């Protein structure tokens, strides 16, 4: 019986080994696939800005004297022509009185000599006195005329000094720091205060040569309207407008200065403050892909491109500009390429996939900054 069982076991093993194949093929991994889209893409650029009053002036003394009275306080709003300070008023008033008296005396001396001249001329005609006396009197009158002119000039000079002693506001504005108090001795040219007209403000900022060329080659009228980001990172509620570009680049920095004007009816902005000018721009006909469709290898940016056989190929791309969620592509892709939309971390070069196409344009309402 044992001899008969061995062939039967061998036969069973042979039948089992020669049975049908049991291994099934692995199904390809499914990935969402997109094509880049081409669209005009808005974005903003920010530039550090220095804020200045539309009018700002340092009020300085034109004469030497003591501050007799101060009519304003720091931070006060003043009107054009309003009296701010008076310097040694009584002293200049007395000088003017003396100058007026000297002028009147010179006029009186001149008139007296002119009367005398008329009498001498009649005497000369009758040969009672010589012509020499007439010539001497005429010379004296010329000297008196010069003295009158000198007295008049002195009177006007003193009157001017008296006017200079009354310091008035050159325009409507706000008084800033007053460094000298009543009784202080002021030298000619010393600053008494400064006045800022903050009804509007200027914001000065600088662009590089590249940004300047992009500005003038773009939609300049659209980009002229700008925003202002304040130091607390909030946007100023009113728009401004670029109204001036300097005529030359700074040789040291390579930048060129721009000036924008902003309304300031609320008085929020102050002379000497800082902020950032925000310029709205548009990248025209940009080739755009999501950032999540990309990955980096040694600081190089890559995507997985899907070929016609649904095989993945790793491809290096060059971004032109980076936005919050998207890249604008400079080179490496075309709008007809298909790339992996999500899951690039698990994808492999040379992998065969099952693509599921997604319309990128439909999935995004706009390209966000």
pLDDT at residue 10 in the model: 47
Place domain 45-54+199-283 in its CATH homologous superfamily: Efflux pump adaptor protein, beta barrel domain (2.40.30.170)
170 has a pLDDT exceeding 70:
yes
pLDDT of residue 91: 65
165 pLDDT band (50/70/90 cuts)? confident
Confidence of residue 164 (pLDDT cuts 50, 70, 90): confident
Q: How far is C-alpha 42 from the chain's CA centre?
A: 21
Q: Does domain 29-41+285-363 have CATH number 3.40.710.10?
A: no
Alpha-carbon radius of gyration of the chain: 45
Mean pLDDT of 162-170: 86
Indicate left, alpha or beta for 210 from its phi (over 0: left) and psi (-120 to 50: alpha): alpha
pLDDT of residue 365: 54
Burial 330-356, CB ≥16 within 10 A → b, else e: eebbeeebbbbbeebeebeeebebebe
Confidence of residue 284 (pLDDT cuts 50, 70, 90): confident
Q: pLDDT over 70 for what percent of the chain?
A: 87
Whether 300 has a pLDDT exceeding 50, the answer reads yes
> How would you classify the pairing of strands 240-245 and 339-340?
unpaired
pLDDT tens digits for 67-125? 999 999 999 999 999 999 998 866 666 776 787 787 788 788 778 777 777 776 777 67
153 — pLDDT class (breaks 50, 70, 90): confident
Fold agreement between 45-54+199-283 and 67-175: no
Segment among 113-127, 184-198, 288-302 with least mean pLDDT: 113-127
The pLDDT score that the predictor gives to residue 90 is 61
47-61, 127-141, 231-245: least confidently modelled range: 127-141
Share of the chain above pLDDT 90, in %: 54
Statement: residue 369 has pLDDT above 60: no
Q: What is the pLDDT of residues 336-358, one digit of tens each?
A: 999 999 899 999 999 999 999 99
Each domain of the chain, given as residue ranges in start order, spans: 29-41+285-363, 45-54+199-283, 67-175
CATH class as words, domain 67-175 = mainly alpha
The better pLDDT of the pair 298, 217 is held by: 298
């Amino acid at each position: 019986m044992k001899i008969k069982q061995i062939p039967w076991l061998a036969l069973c093993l042979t039948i089992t080994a020669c049975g049908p194949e049991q291994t099934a093929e692995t199904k390809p991994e499914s990935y969402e696939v997109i094509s880049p889209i081409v669209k005009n893409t808005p974005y903003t650029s920010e530039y550090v800005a220095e804020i200045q009053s539309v009018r700002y002036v340092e009020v300085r003394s034109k004469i030497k004297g003591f501050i007799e009275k101060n009519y304003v306080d720091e931070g006060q709003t003043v009107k054009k022509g309003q009296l701010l300070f008076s310097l040694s008023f009584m002293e200049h008033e007395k000088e003017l009185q003396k100058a007026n008296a000297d002028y009147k005396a010179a006029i009186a001396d001149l008139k007296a000599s002119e009367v005398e001249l008329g009498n001498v001329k009649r005497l000369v005609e009758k040969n009672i006195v010589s012509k020499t006396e007439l010539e001497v009197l005429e010379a004296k009158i010329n000297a008196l005329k010069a003295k009158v002119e000198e007295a008049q000039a002195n009177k006007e000079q003193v009157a001017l000094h008296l006017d200079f002693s009354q310091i008035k506001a050159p325009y409507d504005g706000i008084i800033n720091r007053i460094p000298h108090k009543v009784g202080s001795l002021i030298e000619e040219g010393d600053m008494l205060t400064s006045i800022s007209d903050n009804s509007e403000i200027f914001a000065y900022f600088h662009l590089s040569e590249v940004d300047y060329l992009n500005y003038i080659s773009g939609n300049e009228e659209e980009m002229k309207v700008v925003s202002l980001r304040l130091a607390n990172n909030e946007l100023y509620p009113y728009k401004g407008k670029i109204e001036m570009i300097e005529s030359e680049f700074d040789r040291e920095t390579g930048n060129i200065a721009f000036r924008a004007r902003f309304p300031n009816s609320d008085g929020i902005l102050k002379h000497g403050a800082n902020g950032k000018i925000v310029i709205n721009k548009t990248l025209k006909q940009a080739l755009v892909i999501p950032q999540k469709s990309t990955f980096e290898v040694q600081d190089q940016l890559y995507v997985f491109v899907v070929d016609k056989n649904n095989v993945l190929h790793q491809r290096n791309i060059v971004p032109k500009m980076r936005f919050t969620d998207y890249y604008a592509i400079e080179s490496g892709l075309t709008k007809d390429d298909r790339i992996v939309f999500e899951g690039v971390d698990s994808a492999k070069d040379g992998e065969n996939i099952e693509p599921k196409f997604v319309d990128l344009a439909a999935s995004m309402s706009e390209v966000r900054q």
